[in-house]
Amino acid sequence: MKDQIVIADALHGEVRIHAACTTSLVEEARQHHHCMPTSIAALGRTMTVTAIMASDLKNQNERVQAVLNGKGPIGTVLAQADGAGNVKGFAANPNVYIVREDGHLAVGQGIGTNGTLTVTRDMGLKEPFTGTSALQSGEVGDDFAYYFAISEQVPSVVGVGVLVSQEGSVKASGGLIYQLLPKAGEEAIEYCEKVAKTQKPVSELIDEGKDLDEIIQMYFPDANILARRDVRFHCGCSKEHFMDSLVTLHDNDLKEMIEDGKGAEIVCQYCNTTYNFTVEELKEILERKHCVENR
Ligand code: ZN
């Protein structure tokens, strides 16, 4: 199944549903960052929810960013997605591989619970909207559900999962989020609570070959599909982009790099691509900097 997000409503429009398949984009992130299983599960879950949030954006250049900071061995996990379906992210420590007693990847232990989830919605306005909530279990799904309830006042059930194969590659990744709209009545609330208790992990359903429409209809037989959005891993960085950031360095730092004669190496934190700058290029940057300043 190709990576996609399907948006639907159900129960007379009282519940809004997002189902996501993110297998390819999470596998691509794993390859870029050389992630071990628990690190990619944490990053993949975070990228999936972030992609789902971005699927509601009106404009292509609007962005959503989520940062989990739980002081566990994985450290910071960050994901960013835009209104065009481009998703990227990283886990500070990609080398974490810890397993729970039941054999599942210990994502909660990897992320930790001693910290916060911060979501920034950049809608192209002067001030982006930022909301922060305390981490609940570090399992990502619970943490976002709590965030939606506390910070955005939307009662939500958030299921996300990443299945990692024996060899360490991503077998299946996806998510199912359903949210009660303000007009939701008691019946819809009870129905969602019932579904939450019986729901199978979405990554397992994707691995079994179910498509997103089927997954939505398994739990919400009256669902109407409202929209489909393609999503992909895409960073968008370039050498020019990093050149612009070198221009903002202090003269002395640039001069030092030029004098030590080795050039500079910059690694993009979102996609792990390395950009090399020769001494000649650094000299050009220093010159360009002065042209800009003297204008
Ligand atoms: Zn990049």
Residues with pLDDT less than 50, the chain = none
Pairwise CA distance, residues 221 & 203, whole Å: 20
- In tens, the pLDDT along 153-205 reads 999 999 999 999 999 999 999 999 999 999 999 999 999 999 999 999 999 99
pLDDT at 294: 60
Cβ atoms 42, 91 nearer than 8 A = yes
Region for residue 193 given its phi and psi (left: phi exceeds 0; alpha: psi -120 to 50; beta: otherwise): alpha
Ligand 1 centroid to residue 40 C-alpha, Å: 17
The alpha carbon of 216 and the centre of ligand 1 are apart by a number of angstroms equal to: 33
**Nearest residue to 195 via CA among 175, 173, 177:** 177
- d(CA 238, ligand 1 centre) in Å: 7
Q: Give residue 215 CA to ligand 1 midpoint distance, Å.
A: 33
Distance in Å, CA 237 to ligand 1 centroid: 4
Q: Are 119 and 151 in contact (CB under 8 A)?
A: yes
Predicted pLDDT of residue 292: 64
Residue 200 alpha carbon to ligand 1 centre in Å: 34
pLDDT at 288: 84
The pLDDT score that the predictor gives to residue 123 is 86
Q: Identify the pLDDT of residue 295.
A: 56
- The pLDDT value given to residue 149: 96
State the distance from the centre of ligand 1 to the C-alpha of 268, rounded, in angstroms.
Answer: 5
CA of 236 to the centre of ligand 1 (A): 6
How much distance in Å is there from the Cα of 240 to the middle of ligand 1?
Answer: 12
